[in-house]
Amino acid sequence: MKVRMKRFLFLLVFISLWTGIASAHARDRSRFFSPPQFGVRVYRDLPYQPTAHERQRLDLYVPENSESPLPLIIWIHGGGWRYGTKEDCPVLPWTREGYVVASINYRLSQDARFPAQIEDCKAAIRWLRTNAAQYKIDPDRVAAWGGSAGGHLASLLGTTGDVTEWEQGHAAGSSRVQAVIDWFGRADLTQACTDPVLGDSPSALLIGGSGPGFAELARKASPITHVSADDPPFLIMHGDMDNVVPLSQSRAFAEALRAAGVKVKLVVLKGVGHGGVEFKQPEQAKAIDSFLNEVIGRQKTAASGQAMPE
């Protein structure tokens, strides 16, 4: 009897310890690997242009447990401006933190040459602002976040809020954003688009060619060209072993933003290449949380009187 009791107590202790370890492990896992919160309403394939190309659509994820307008994160996928889809959206778990998430498609370079891509991103933002009340969006708290080609477009949104020639689509609303998260995006396209040897590079294919005749368009397509003091805060993340977009691109971009008086934080991931799970670890999620909270997120919501999400 005593032996059975000891075994039973040992089993209870073992289960308790194992549960504690598993719980701690779950807490330590990155936000990226947690599923979106239940109670999120999903709207798919919403056209953001009146006569939409098949790529001019977005998916929208709206938390249902809030009566007040919520901040918006717009995810812009990568893929060298030639591939990728809105279905691959790593930021969906931020709906658990009280953000509306929009994942957008845009015309690829084989569909249309630049500036079609940034025109689409701006049109999507203007559409979202036009319909903000319907989808519980606070139009004054919008963040653009993208990786690689999406990082380039997110950065271009951040630095071209005052560029009117690319404003397409809905007449009402603004395409300005209040925050940018740039994952290893190209900030300067001029080198890849002025050397004829690189004529088949994704950057050259984006603008239609490479060589001296494309220098001005490459300059206009570069986020670093448009940096000014009224740009929103930036969080830039880049691996120091990136052999697709050199880290020097983000270093120069961050320095240009600082020189203009723009708030910017550059996070360099040691031993990391062009993307990968290293960007989705708890340390990176914590840095992103801190940045978003400070600029558009929970702290701002709490200040307005709405309860902060758990």
What is the average pLDDT across 124-140?
Answer: 96
Neighbour-count burial of 102, counting CB atoms closer than 10 A to its CB (0-12 exposed, 13-18 middle, 19+ buried): buried
Q: Does domain 37-187+224-303 have CATH number 3.40.50.1820?
A: yes
Average pLDDT value over all residues in the chain: 87
The rounded distance, in Å, linking the Cα atoms of 105 and 124 is 9
- pLDDT at res. 4: 53
| Least-confidence region, from 23-27, 91-95, 139-143, 303-307 | 303-307
Lowest mean pLDDT among 29-33, 65-69, 131-135, 208-212: 29-33
Instruction: Tell me what pLDDT residue 257 has.
Output: 98
Estimate the share of the chain in helix, then strand, then coil, as percent rounded to the nearest 5: 40, 20, 40
Question: What is the mean predicted confidence (pLDDT) over 111-115?
Answer: 97
What is the arithmetic mean of pLDDT over 78-85?
97
pLDDT digits (tens, 9 = 90+) for 279-299: 999 999 999 999 999 999 865
| Contact between residue 68 and residue 137 where contact means Cβ atoms under 8 Å apart | no
83 with 110: CB under 8 angstroms? no
- Per-residue pLDDT at 280: 94
Q: Regarding beta strands 40-47 and 70-76, do their DSSP bridges make them parallel or antiparallel, or are they unpaired?
A: unpaired
CA–CA dist 236, 283 (Å, integer): 14
Give the torsion sign (CA, 144, 86, 192, 271): positive
Using the predicted structure, report yes or no on whether residue 24 has a pLDDT greater than 50. no
Q: What are the residue ranges spanned by the domains of the chain?
A: 37-187+224-303, 190-221
* Tokens matching residue 279: 């960007």
Higher pLDDT, 13 or 61: 61
pLDDT greater than 90 at residue 303: no
In this structure, the number of other CB atoms found within 10 A of the CB of residue 44 comes to 12
